[in-house]
Amino acid sequence: MKLDVHALALSILAFLAAGSTTLTFASEDTAHTAPNDELQSWITKNAIAIRSVDPRDEDFKDLEFLEDVIGTAQVVQLGEASHSGGTGFLAKARLVKFLHQRMGFDVLVWEEGIYDMRLTQAGLRGSEDVLSVVQRGIRPGWSNSEELRSLFESVKASLLGIRPLEMAGYDSRFSPQSFDQFTSSLRSFAAALRDAAARKRSQDLVEKALAAYNRICCTKDVRPGQKADLDNLHRTADTLLDEVAKNRELFEQVHGARETSFMERSIESMRSDGTGKFYLAQITPGAADSGKYFDEFWRQRDEQGARNLRWLIEKGYPGRKIMFWAHNMHVMNAYSGPSFKEVHLEPQPGDMKPVGVYMANWLGQKLYTIGLTSFEGEEGLNGEKDATPIPPASQGSLEARLHTLGKPYLFLNLRAAGSISSHSLHKPQSMRVFIPSNYTVSDITRVFDGIFYIDRLTPATPAGK
């Protein structure tokens, strides 16, 4: 059985988030009168209008303010409130082009598998059609959207220039196709050792680890999710990692330090991916405990994802400036409550710790995180189903306040609020961290550094249409 973990996870995520609003939606009156208060005055003064979200528009005068806003940050995180908002894809693609061309960011890390994206990046150097290549490593919601075609074409073209833009992935998940290739790579990794005894031990451990993973995800005659299978995967993967660590010099003699370290991350990711598939296999539609198992899947996934992302920054692309493309829920510097029903600045029992918290604790001011949000519109997965309406944001929310300015696209630098606790932006605010829900956050400036606002979100368009 090949478990489509990506599709299942997205469907569960949407189901859980559907009930996570802490404020009710606004009425049908979308005009929203601007509040006459200190916060509205500050937003009116500090919100910056963006002229275009078309990534083909490379007249970047309207984005030049970001050079001062982002400053010397080494990593910029680009969030999104919906994985199927075409306008958001356009906006982020244009930001990527600006950050690459004007600010020297030359690595784009996707919310996709670390091994999957390695294969995708290698494929971009060939002659194959760019969309065919990226669709093997990047989910259809992104790779099959017309909104991102020009970005992918630009990435491919840049590889022949003097300022290449490379792509990578941070996630621990494997697609079935990439895992088949990883299986071959892992076997070759062990078989190349020159020391016969170490080679034999490593090969035996590789086969045991692969078998343990496959019993969870891919074997028809064994029910997925048996606890003994999960324990066996952890034991065999950890033993294999210990063997690599003990024989690091032998592995590095034939593979080099970077490749050896990458394969360690990939083995860890196999362990994490199998764990995630175990938790997803426990979910019974409609069961009361489904949310608990999904939370466990998400929690361990982001823990390994943070390890992978840190490796990319420190060892994969040392000294490079990196962009990270993911959902707001992954990049935010805050904790998500069970089933995504709340957002907390400080962890509470049962909370999930996203990559953004790990990165903020590690990088501090070297990290700049942009949350993307919208007032209303539609979202949809590239024609796979009818577009889903997004009701107007709640009265008094940040989106509603920005909506009163009458601009289609705005940027709000939350760092401009400073650290004075009496500033109104440091008080509880409502924001759409996950569309269509509004979350009340006690201090939004600690969650994101800036907000890219789109007044009306449109669904993604299938490539070629």
Q: Identify the pLDDT of residue 375.
A: 97
Instruction: Give 333-355 pLDDT, tens digit per residue.
Output: 999 999 899 999 999 999 999 99
- 29 pLDDT tier (thresholds 50, 70, 90): very low
Tokens, residue 310: 């840190």
HSE (side-chain half, CA atoms, 13 Å) at 357: 16
- The answer to which of 7-16, 181-190, 212-221, 441-450 has the lowest mean pLDDT is 7-16
Angstrom distance (rounded) from CA 111 to CA 324 = 8
Q: Is residue 435 a contact partner of residue 81, using CB atoms and an 8 Å limit?
A: yes
The more confident residue out of 172 and 386 is: 172
Q: DSSP code of 85?
A: B
Domain ranges for the chain: 176-288
| 340-348 own/partner pairs: CB under 8 Å, 24+ apart | 340/13, 340/16, 340/17, 340/20, 340/434, 340/437, 341/19, 341/20, 341/22, 342/20, 342/22, 342/439, 343/433, 343/439, 343/441, 343/447, 345/441, 345/442, 345/443, 345/446, 345/447
**Phi, psi (rounded to 5 degrees) for 136:** -80, -20
Task: List pLDDT tens digits, range 406-447.
Answer: 999 999 999 999 988 889 999 999 999 999 888 999 999 999
- Over 80: is that where the pLDDT of 20 sits? no
What's the predicted TM-score (pTM) here? 0.93
Q: What is the DSSP string of 314-373?
A: IIISTT-EEEEE--HHHH-SSEEPGGG--EESS--TT-B--HHHHHHHHHGGGEEEEEEE
**Which of these, 182, 185, 189, 215, lies nearest to 203 by C-alpha position?**
189
The C-alpha atoms of residue 24 and residue 167 are separated, in whole angstroms, by 39
Please give the Cα distance from 336 to 201 (Å, whole number).
42
Q: How many CA atoms lie within 13 A of 125 on its CB side?
A: 10
Look up residue 297 and give its two tokens: 């899947």
- Please tell me the predicted confidence (pLDDT) of residue 19: 45
Alpha-helix runs per DSSP H in 221-285? 227-246, 248-255, 257-281
Judge contact between 203 and 211, C-beta under 8 A. no
- Total Cβ atoms within 10 A of residue 120: 24
Torsion sign, CA atoms 225, 228, 233, 234:
positive
Amino acid at residue number 116: D
Spell out the residues 6+ positions from residue 433 whose beta carbon is closer than 8 angstroms to its own: 81, 328, 329, 332, 343, 371, 373, 439, 441, 447
Q: What is the average pLDDT score of the chain? A: 91
Answer yes or no: are the C-beta atoms of 381 and 460 closer than 8 Å. yes
Contact 8, 173 (CB under 8 A): no
DSSP letters for 111-157: EEEHHHHHHHHHHHTSSS-HHHHHTTTS-HHHHTBGGGHHHHHHHHH
The answer on pLDDT for 34 being more than 90 is no
The H-or-E segment that residue 105 falls in is strand 105-113
Residue at 118: amino acid letter: R
Rg of the chain (C-alpha set): 22
Could you tell me if 345 and 334 are in contact, meaning their C-beta atoms sit under 8 angstroms apart? yes
Nearest to 430 by CA among 438, 420, 419, 418: 438
Query: Across the chain, which distance is largest between two alpha carbons, in Å?
Result: 77
Residue 219, pLDDT score: 55
CB 422 within 8 A of CB 42: no
pLDDT surpassing 90 at residue 382: no
pLDDT at 288: 79
**Does the pLDDT value for residue 221 go beyond 90?**
no
Mean pLDDT calculated for residue range 324-331: 98
* Identity of the amino acid at 199: R
Query: Region 174-197: what's the mean pLDDT?
Result: 96
pLDDT at residue number 218: 67
Residue 14 has pLDDT above 80, yes or no: no
Query: Which two structure tokens, joined as six digits, stand for 331?
Result: 């990049």
Model confidence at 217, pLDDT cuts 50, 70, 90, reads confident
Model confidence pLDDT, tens digit, residues 256-312: 999 999 999 999 999 999 999 999 888 887 787 888 999 999 999 999 999 999 999
